[in-house]
Amino acid sequence: MIEQQKKNQILIVAIFSLTIIPFLIAWGLKENPNLVKGTTNRGQLVTPPITIAEQDITGFDAFSVNNLKELHGHWLIVNVIPNDGCNKVCLEALLKTKQLRLMLNKELPRTRRVAILYQNPSEVVAAEWWLKDTLLWRLNLLEDKDSHDLYANLLHQENKLETSLVDKLIQNENKELALNSDLIRIKLSAEVLKKIAVISNQPVQDGILFLIDPLGNLMMQYDSGFDTYKVKDDLMHLLRISQIG
């Protein structure tokens, strides 16, 4: 009986340890960001991290409002759209994060894609951005020069995705599923935006990227034109050492 009680006590301690250790690691990374400087140095480590609370976030549109719960407990790959338009640099950055998330393979479910909007574009204008984010990558799968030229052309905001091209890209797929977006669009409080402006040391540029941990800490920043593969290396390292989210 005594031996069984000891085994039960050991089991309880082990279960408790498995629960608390990931959170201790995350807290340690927040309090001692230098611990990851040695290997996650492809972007800029934000020190101290900027903590973003639930009340700092609002959904930009109905889709995002309905999916805000998806942000909780996940690593967030965050694009920034600071202007009224999403130009070539902005759209390329969105498409890079779509590629980045797919490159994570089995770690993909631990992440979510997010876009922070600073302005208030009309629903019609923004809908074109989200449609391009959802579909343009398909053009790159086609090997012919015309498709690649069309892809480059559609990166410019003034060029629209025609209905006929949308239907061609989707082909026989279920249209609702094919157009389903994984990009959650949000607005942030003025207080958080001010903090982001401080770490940028300049007006926020199109095409920059942030990584936010599952506790809501904005901890990494990458400049416009970031290398998708280098960001992936950093993010995979963070996913390995944290084991949360």
CA distance 243 to 71: 17
Residue pair 227/87 in contact by the 8 Å Cβ criterion = no
In CATH, what number does 2-122+181-242 get?
3.40.30.10
CA distance 1 to 56: 54
- Can you read off the two tokens belonging to residue 237? 């390292």
pLDDT digits (tens, 9 = 90+) for 2-34: 665 555 556 555 555 555 554 555 555 555 555
pLDDT digits (tens, 9 = 90+) for 173-226: 999 899 999 999 999 999 999 999 988 777 888 999 999 999 999 999 999 999
Mean pLDDT across 108-134: 96
Could you report how far apart the first and last alpha carbons of the chain are, in Å? 39
Q: Where are the domains of the chain?
A: 2-122+181-242
At 113, phi and psi to the nearest 5?
-95, 140
Distances (CA, A) of 234 to 13, 196, 238: 32, 21, 6
**Residue 180: partners with Cβ closer than 8 Å, 6 or more residues away:** 134
Report whether pLDDT(45) > 60.
Answer: yes
Q: Could you tell me where the DSSP H helices lie in the chain?
A: 2-31, 62-67, 88-103, 123-141, 145-154, 163-170, 175-178, 190-200, 228-242
Q: Which residue is associated with the tokens 């989210």?
A: 245
pLDDT digits (tens, 9 = 90+) for 152-175: 999 999 999 999 999 999 988 999
